[in-house]
């Protein structure tokens, strides 16, 4: 009698075999649905990244509508060449220099010549006496070191100074390939709608050419107020200087602090405070570090950061040194935390072995713990520095200048940096600048990707060596 | 030998005496200083934000009362009420979380509970690349892709600067943060719980949603709070895409709701105001200069509060499993 | 330290570390005296308590470890035998909350007296750990490093002799002499443990502490280590913790049995039951607890 009772209960409270199979089917189907939903959501993130990269690449290349102030054909005809058979590239260097000299003012010509000579054996714009005098001065221009402009360089100068192309519209890569006519119609329509914008030119003057905004020339040209010739050299150099200073500050201090906290700090109130404080600092928004840099490094420490204490002459504290140290402060907590993780991962048995041999704590740390931790420390540091390169907000605060055409020459230079350049080009309304911003973003991403790849390679190489 | 044989000449006590090791002392001292620099940074931040804010609040045109109560921020007109900026920040943060929480959590659940090794090896690097992209590039993306996209969907009611575009892109930016923190939390759930659930005949989905996620809930919550703090402090996307004019409002019900319900319009945030003001020519000791520090202090306290909250949640979470 | 170099340059394999140390103790073992009767040994603990924070791990340990003997510490897990071992060369200092009361005398000097340098202690009292822990460096550097940090002043050739001597003492020389530049981690577990012993020997301690040195090894490697211990005791005093009673019986001259008791708060505190010559402890233990333990295990 007692044996039948539980069976009865089962029949009462649980579904029959048939019903259960149905329920199981529903559960399975529901599981599949949810699984697909999750996957869909995950795909959104990937698609987002894809579109982001696509947008940047799309804007870095494409068709542009150009109006030349002087058409190359007209120039060639004016100098007695047949435009039908000759192009600028067919001219030799002497002929090109003649074209250039015929168009630029003598002042511009002299400046170009002082930057770099046109010919080894003769001067074009300068007189010999004046040249000797200039070169004998305390601060001789770059052209005095010798070195002669190549033909390609002169072609570029003719392009830039004589033809003077003006980009009036630009299109993205996809649009240029799939539907170039729509772009052309749009340009034409704008000439109809706003003819005043293009005075004295008309739609007949428009030429369409392909343009790679992202190119070697873009990377090596200095900044300019003309989008046709603007490049990121000054910004790239500025970013490189910033990284150097950031690394020089954040790596020794950060790794030192990590060693202290992991190996030497006994759990007392001061050390607990330091650790909590570092965790807190890691969560402080980067713009707050910018404000610290502005108030302390730029303003209060101006005699140091402007270099006036060392006889250098920046007008104020808005220098590479201030900005680099600001980024250093910002990176410091990240370097400390990732180095701590690397040091913590070193097996305790190595410490015991070292100490057991009668080594002091420092000897053990230096000879046994650090060598094992270094790959991890390096990987974390590279990633932290990569993050610092992309930081924009703190640089805005410490006053990275937007428009600088002179390459930075040292820690006391005023400067601009890649992210700042991207920020400023993005905020300009004209379309051309947007393409420059895209190309500059591409430069920045390539730089970061290289650093990340280096970190991964390093990690793989060392982890193989250790095992 | 340095051991037993010296007993005759020097007593063992003397041999064992503590040696001076100037190099070790010096190095440990230097390392301590390196650690203590972080304290100096915090003090520097507190001092600079505090002292400049003090100058701001003691300025005759500003009153600390109106700073925290007024709903109008127009420095030119002498109104310094921080609420328009705070509301701008919160609105964008809210939109960002609306995007990032479902996407980030789904990603975490899928990757930790379902995905095969091959799927993981594809998606994890993608999320890591997202982390590495500078925020200014996200700002460019918001302005050149997201805003035009929204305008082509909703028409010209969408402003050239609008909080929706900024918020969605900030959301994309914090997805990897939420997903990685949530994944960590779920990985910390003991496997025995999963096995117990499977053992009762639960399906994979039932196990992950009804057992693992609830068990990891406080860790997940902590991750969301950290992501929130990140969104509040995010500068470049909002500066580029949300515009440079604070959206003032009055306290009437319509106006406040109107603020929240108009995501197609621009609004300046705290960080946006600081960045825009500092990027212009700004002279020291002006009211504009001091005002960015007062806002910076507010921002600092908000993010600090969120981060401490997250750490407290994590601490409780750890206790549950120890 | 200065006079170390003279002996170091000689092949240490054939060198007893110190004539004064080897003289007395051999007779002692045969006479089966208790250490107390034999006068002070190399290490002597007096009423030693070890705490981790508020938790008392071992209580009131008084022992006398004789020169050039192998002393084994045995007992159930949690009885504090490893804790006792680690407090003999102040390795417990590495745990921030650890504290030792009472006295530990090394050649009559209290190593816990204020002003004592733990680094000096560990140089003289070497240690071999439960799991082989060679440095991720070459075999040569594994051994040379300890000597270098302890101020080795000899030439490169002297260092080679030292390394060879240490490896010979650890019975590892023939197996590794052709690959001294390979990583210490490339060796088998048993070889790694002998490398760790060679490493400890190279700094010329006079006591070697071994914390379950064979627990991670297979029986053949274990046998080799045991043989090695018997050779090493000619020159060193060895104290070994083992969970394996047969091992204690095979190699040790004296065995200490530790037990653990629960106090009213549920804390487990270890204490010394008895410390007797090994054959006596295993055949006719003085204490009932010891007998229960060894018969339980053997039975």
Query: Is A57 a residue whose pLDDT tops 50?
Result: yes
Per-residue pLDDT at C38? 56
A324-333, A427-436, A440-449: segment of lowest average pLDDT: A427-436
Per-residue pLDDT at B1? 40
**Rounded to an integer, what distance in angstroms lies between the CA atom of residue C117 and that of residue C124?**
11
Query: Is A313 a residue whose pLDDT tops 80?
Result: no
Query: Is C35 a residue whose pLDDT tops 60?
Result: no
Domain boundaries, chain A: 6-61, 62-220, 233-466
Instruction: Report the gap between the CA of C52 and the closest CA in chain A (Å).
Output: 14
**Rounded to an integer, what distance in angstroms lies between the CA atom of residue B170 and that of residue B271?**
13
Query: Is C299 a residue whose pLDDT tops 50?
Result: no
For an interface test with B, give the residue of C17, C19, C124 to mutate (most B CBs within 10 A): C124
- Nearest Cβ partner of B296 from A291, A332, A402? A291
Residue B289: is the preceding peptide bond cis (ω within 30°)?
no
Query: Is A351 a residue whose pLDDT tops 60?
Result: yes
Share above pLDDT 70 across residues of chain A, in percent, rounded to a whole number: 96
Per-residue pLDDT at B6? 44
Residues of chain B with pLDDT under 50: 1-7
Per-residue pLDDT at C239? 95
CA angle A110/A116/A119 to nearest 5° reads 90
Domain boundaries, chain C: 12-294
Instruction: Report the gap between the CA of C294 and the closest CA in chain B (Å).
Output: 36
DSSP code string of A107-131: HHHHHHHHHSBS-SS--SSS-HHHH
Contact B17 C205 (CB under 8 A): no
* Residue C115 CB partners (closer than 8 Å, separation 6+): B17, B18
* Residue A133 CB partners (closer than 8 Å, separation 6+): none
Please state the rounded mean pLDDT for residues A335-361: 92
A53's tokens:
């990269």
Per-residue pLDDT at C149? 87
Q: Between the CA of residue B71 and those of A379, B9, B61, B260, C14, what are the distances in Å?
A: 47, 86, 16, 14, 90
Contact A358 C122 (CB under 8 A): yes
Contact B41 A295 (CB under 8 A): no
**Rounded to an integer, what distance in angstroms lies between the CA atom of residue C153 and that of residue C4?**
9
**Rounded to an integer, what distance in angstroms lies between the CA atom of residue B228 and that of residue B99?**
12
Supply the ipTM of this predicted assembly: 0.91
- Nearest Cβ partner of A267 from C96, C122, C146? C96
**B40 interface with A at CB cutoff 8 Å:** no
Question: Measured between beta carbons, which residues in chain A are less than 8 angstroms from residue C94?
Answer: 351-352, 355
pLDDT: which is higher, C30 or C147: C147
| Domains of chain B listed by start with CATH number | 92-265+299-317 (1.10.3720.10)
C204's tokens:
């010329």
Contact C122 A467 (CB under 8 A): no
Contact B137 A333 (CB under 8 A): no
- pLDDT (tens digit per residue) in A390-426: 999 999 999 876 677 777 888 888 888 999 999 999 9
B200's tokens:
């009762």
Question: Measured between beta carbons, which residues in chain C are less than 8 angstroms from residue B17?
Answer: 115-117, 120
- Contact yes or no for B103/A44 (Cβ under 8 A): yes
Per-residue pLDDT at A242? 94
Please state the rounded mean pLDDT for residues A457-463: 75
Name the DSSP letter for residue B157.
G
User: CA gyration radius for chain B?
Assistant: 27
What's the CATH number for C12-294? 3.40.50.300
Question: Measured between beta carbons, which residues in chain B are less than 8 angstroms from residue C116?
Answer: 16-18
- pLDDT (tens digit per residue) in C87-146: 999 998 888 888 999 999 999 889 998 888 888 889 899 999 999 999 988 999 999 998
Q: For A363, name the nearest residue in chain C, comparing CA atoms only.
A: C149
Per-residue pLDDT at C25? 39
Nearest alpha-carbon partner for C255 in C205, C297, C195, C199? C297
Per-residue pLDDT at C267? 81
Please state the rounded mean pLDDT for residues A82-111: 84
Query: Is C266 a residue whose pLDDT tops 80?
Result: no
What's the CATH number for A233-466? 1.10.3720.10
Nearest alpha-carbon partner for A66 in A156, A153, A171, A152? A171
Per-residue pLDDT at C215? 87
Q: Give the number of beta-carbon pairs within 8 Å between B and C.
A: 58
Per-residue pLDDT at C13? 41
**A37 interface with B at CB cutoff 8 Å:** yes
Q: For B11, name the nearest residue in chain C, comparing CA atoms only.
A: C109
Q: For B281, name the nearest residue in chain A, comparing CA atoms only.
A: A399
**A30 interface with B at CB cutoff 8 Å:** yes
**Rounded to an integer, what distance in angstroms lies between the CA atom of residue B51 and that of residue B282?**
18
Query: Is C258 a residue whose pLDDT tops 60?
Result: yes
Question: Measured between beta carbons, which residues in chain B are less than 8 angstroms from residue A271?
Answer: 35
Task: Give this prediction's pTM.
Answer: 0.85
- pLDDT (tens digit per residue) in A256-283: 999 999 999 888 889 899 999 999 999 9
Question: Measured between beta carbons, which residues in chain A are less than 8 angstroms from residue C134?
Answer: 353
Query: Is A6 a residue whose pLDDT tops 60?
Result: no
**Rounded to an integer, what distance in angstroms lies between the CA atom of residue A174 and that of residue A177?**
5
Instruction: For residue A224, give the 3-state DSSP assignment.
Output: coil
Contact A423 B136 (CB under 8 A): yes
Per-residue pLDDT at C5? 39
Query: Is C29 a residue whose pLDDT tops 90?
Result: no
C267's tokens:
């804390």
* Residue C259 CB partners (closer than 8 Å, separation 6+): C75, C76, C79, C270, C271, C273, C289, C293
Please state the rounded mean pLDDT for residues C189-205: 91
- pLDDT (tens digit per residue) in A169-222: 888 999 899 999 999 998 889 888 888 888 788 888 888 988 889 999 899 888
């Amino acid at each position: 009698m007692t044996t039948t009772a539980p069976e009865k209960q089962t029949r009462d409270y649980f579904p029959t075999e048939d019903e259960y199979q149905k329920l199981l089917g529903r559960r399975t189907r529901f599981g599949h649905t949810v699984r697909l939903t999750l996957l869909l959501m995950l795909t959104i993130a990937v698609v987002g990244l894809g579109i982001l990269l696509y947008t940047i690449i799309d804007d870095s290349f494409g068709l542009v509508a150009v109006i030349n102030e002087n058409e190359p054909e007209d120039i060639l005809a004016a100098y007695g060449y047949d435009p039908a058979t000759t192009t600028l590239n067919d001219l030799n260097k002497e002929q090109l220099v003649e074209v250039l000299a015929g168009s630029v003012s003598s002042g511009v010509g002299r400046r170009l010549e002082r930057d770099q000579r046109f010919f080894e054996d003769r001067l074009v714009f300068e007189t010999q006496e004046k040249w000797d005098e200039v070169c004998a001065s305390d601060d001789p221009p770059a052209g005095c070191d010798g070195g002669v402009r190549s033909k390609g360089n002169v072609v570029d100068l003719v392009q830039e100074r004589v033809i003077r192309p003006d980009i009036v519209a630009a299109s993205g890569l996809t649009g240029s390939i799939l539907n170039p006519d729509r772009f052309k119609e749009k340009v034409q329509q704008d000439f109809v709608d706003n003819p005043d914008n293009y005075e004295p030119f008309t739609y007949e003057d428009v030429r369409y050419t392909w343009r790679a905004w992202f190119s070697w020339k873009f990377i090596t040209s200095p900044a300019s107020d003309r989008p046709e010739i603007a490049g990121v050299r000054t910004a790239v150099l500025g970013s490189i200087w910033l990284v150097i200073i950031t690394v020089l500050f954040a790596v020794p201090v950060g790794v030192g602090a990590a060693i202290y906290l992991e190996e030497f700090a006994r759990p007392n109130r001061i050390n607990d405070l330091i650790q909590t404080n570092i965790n807190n600092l890691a969560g402080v928004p980067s713009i707050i570090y910018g404000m610290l840099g502005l108030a302390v490094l730029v303003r209060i420490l101006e005699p140091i950061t402007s270099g006036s204490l060392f006889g250098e002459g920046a007008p104020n504290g808005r220098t590479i040194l201030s900005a680099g140290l600001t980024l250093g402060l910002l990176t410091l907590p990240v370097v400390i935390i990732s180095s701590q993780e690397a040091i913590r991962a070193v097996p305790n048995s190595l410490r015991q072995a070292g100490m057991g041999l009668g080594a002091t704590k420092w000897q053990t740390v230096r000879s046994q713990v650090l060598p094992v931790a270094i790959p991890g420390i390096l990987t974390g540091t590279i990633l932290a520095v990569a993050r610092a390169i992309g930081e924009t907000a703190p640089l805005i605060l410490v006053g990275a200048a937007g428009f600088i055409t002179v390459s930075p020459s040292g820690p006391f230079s005023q400067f601009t940096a890649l992210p700042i350049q991207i920020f400023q080009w993005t905020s300009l309304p004209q379309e051309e600048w947007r393409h420059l911003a895209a190309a500059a973003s591409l430069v920045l991403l390539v730089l970061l990707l290289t650093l990340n790849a280096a970190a991964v390679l390093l990690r793989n190489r060392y982890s193989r060596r250790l095992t | 030998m340095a051991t037993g044989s010296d007993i005759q000449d020097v007593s063992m006590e003397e041999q064992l005496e503590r040696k001076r090791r100037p190099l070790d002392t010096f190095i440990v001292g230097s390392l301590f200083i390196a650690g203590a620099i972080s304290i100096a940074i915090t003090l520097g931040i507190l001092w600079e934000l505090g002292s400049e804010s003090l100058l701001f609040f003691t300025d005759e045109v500003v009153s600390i009362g109106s700073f925290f109560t007024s709903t109008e921020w127009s420095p030119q007109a002498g109104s310094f009420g921080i609420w328009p900026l705070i509301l701008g920040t919160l609105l964008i943060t809210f939109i960002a979380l609306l995007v990032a929480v479902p996407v980030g959590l789904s990603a975490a659940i899928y990757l930790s509970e379902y995905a095969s090794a091959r799927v993981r090896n594809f998606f994890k690097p993608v999320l890591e690349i997202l982390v590495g992209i500078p925020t200014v590039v996200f700002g460019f993306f918001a302005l050149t892709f997201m805003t035009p996209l929204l305008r082509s969907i909703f028409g010209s009611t969408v402003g050239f600067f609008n909080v929706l575009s900024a918020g969605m892109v900030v959301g994309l930016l914090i997805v990897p943060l939420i997903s990685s923190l949530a994944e960590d939390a779920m990985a910390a759930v003991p496997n025995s719980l999963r096995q117990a659930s499977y053992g009762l005949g639960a399906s994979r989905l039932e196990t992950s949603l009804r057992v693992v996620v609830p068990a990891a809930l406080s860790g997940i919550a902590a991750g969301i709070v950290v992501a929130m703090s990140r969104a509040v402090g995010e500068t470049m996307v909002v500066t580029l895409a949300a515009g440079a004019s604070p959206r003032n409002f009055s306290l009437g019900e319509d106006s406040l709701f109107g603020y929240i319900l108009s995501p197609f319009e621009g609004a300046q945030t705290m960080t946006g105001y600081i960045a825009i003001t500092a990027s212009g020519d700004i002279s020291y000791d002006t009211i504009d200069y001091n005002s960015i520090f007062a806002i910076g202090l507010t921002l600092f306290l908000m993010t600090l509060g969120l981060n401490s909250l997250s750490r407290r949640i994590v601490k409780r979470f750890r206790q549950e499993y120890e | 330290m200065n006079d170390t170099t003279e002996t170091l340059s000689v092949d240490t394999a054939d060198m007893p570390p110190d004539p004064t140390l080897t003289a007395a103790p051999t007779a002692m073992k045969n006479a089966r005296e208790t250490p107390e009767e034999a006068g002070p040994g190399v290490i002597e603990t007096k009423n030693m308590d070890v705490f981790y924070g508020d938790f008392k791990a071992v209580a009131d340990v008084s022992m006398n470890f004789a020169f050039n003997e192998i002393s084994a510490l045995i007992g159930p897990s949690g009885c504090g035998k490893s804790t006792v071992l680690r407090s003999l060369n102040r390795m417990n200092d590495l745990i921030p909350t650890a504290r030792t009361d009472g006295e530990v005398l090394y050649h009559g000097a209290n190593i816990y007296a204020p002003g004592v340098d733990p680094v000096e202690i560990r140089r003289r009292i070497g240690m071999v750990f439960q799991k082989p822990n060679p440095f991720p460096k070459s075999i040569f550097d594994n051994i040379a490093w300890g000597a270098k940090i302890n101020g080795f002043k000899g030439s490169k050739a002297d260092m080679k002799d030292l390394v060879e001597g240490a490896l010979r003492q650890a019975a590892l020389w023939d197996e590794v002499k052709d690959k001294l530049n390979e990583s210490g981690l490339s060796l088998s577990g048993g070889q790694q443990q002998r490398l760790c012993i060679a490493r400890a020997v190279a700094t010329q301690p006079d006591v070697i502490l071994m914390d379950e040195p064979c627990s991670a090894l297979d029986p053949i490697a274990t046998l080799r280590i045991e043989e090695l211990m018997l050779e090493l005791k000619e020159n060193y005093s060895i104290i070994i913790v083992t969970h394996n009673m047969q091992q204690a019986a095979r190699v040790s001259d004296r065995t200490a049995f530790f037990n653990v008791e629960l106090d009213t708060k549920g804390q487990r505190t270890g204490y010394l039951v008895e410390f007797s010559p090994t054959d006596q402890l295993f055949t006719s233990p003085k204490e009932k607890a010891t007998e229960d333990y060894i018969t339980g295990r053997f039975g």
